[in-house]
Amino acid sequence: MERLTDRRILITGAASGIGRATTLRLLAEGARVVAADIAEEGLKETLALAGTDRLTARVLDIADEASVNAVVDAAAAELGGLDALVNTAAILRGAHTHECSLELWNRVIGTNLTGTFLMTRAALPYLLDSGRGVVVNFSSTAAFFAHPLMAAYSASKGGVFSFTHSIAQEYARQGLRAVNVVPGGIRSGITDNIGGSVPKDTDWDMFLKLTPALPGGMPGPEKVAGVVAMLVSDDGAFITGTEIRIDGGAHQ
């Protein structure tokens, strides 16, 4: 199935996890993609796995305004415009809230929320010009349900949720769609490294309620990638200002 043969897409967080899986799925459906991430070696691996000239890569710090503006402009120039922006890039740093430093708080908010804003702001003129622009932002089940030790992460993803609804309403009459994808219990770069992102005295029993209800444990990121491919295609043409939760029924 090649639903995206005429789509020009910029995706962040493409060096690993959900971002990489989504990049490969978009390419498999025919899109031309610019993959961006701060991790240059991971981007090289994504390029090697893709093995197609429809993918190029750009090193990007989404928390840096100059980096964002330069990469978005370069991607639009290379692709001849933009039809979709997929913001998967994020970080997770856990802490007991009473021990959470301002530096940690600002870093998480600056990357996850401000980074999503900067990417979207820079891409909006190109997306609006396409006449069928789509912004897919990544919130999290942490924004809606109690996830321990994740105050900064939860706040950042709650902000992404609200931001996405705001732009969906603001630009709907100009043909732009904006949707939140809300993963939970998915294997990704963040979940693979969560042990090093939370305090050493973490009570892991607190996380048991995050286990998917469906059998098989935590699935791979391809379960999310297929949903994103649908959202940026014509199959998602009447979906905006809402969210799709992908958590295997963990939060029913």
Q: pLDDT tens, position by position, for the chain (252 residues)?
A: 689 999 999 999 999 999 999 999 999 999 999 999 999 999 999 999 999 999 999 999 999 999 999 999 999 999 999 999 999 999 999 899 999 999 999 999 999 999 999 999 999 999 999 999 999 999 998 888 877 788 999 999 999 999 999 999 999 999 999 999 999 877 665 555 554 566 666 555 555 566 777 777 777 899 999 999 999 999 999 999 999 999 888 777
Residue pair 144/188 in contact (Cβ under 8 Å)? The answer is no
- The pair of structure tokens assigned to 244 is 């799709």
Q: How many domains does the chain have?
A: 1
Q: How far apart are the first and last CA of the chain?
A: 32
Residue 104 lies in a domain: yes
SS3 string, 148-177, reads CCCHHHHHHHHHHHHHHHHHHHHHHHHCCE
Active-site annotation holds for 171: no
Domain-embedded: residue 99: yes
251 domain residue, yes or no = no
Provide the whole-model pTM.
Answer: 0.92
Q: SS3 of 31, please?
A: coil
In a domain, 42, yes or no: yes
Identify whether 74 is part of a domain. yes
Residue 2 belongs to a domain: no
3 state DSSP class of 250: coil
* Collapsed DSSP state (helix, strand, coil) of residue 229: helix
- Domain of 74 in residue numbering reads as 8-245
In a domain, 3, yes or no: no
Q: Of 153, 161, 163, 171, which one is the catalytic site residue? A: 153
Which CATH number do you get for residue 65?
3.40.50.720
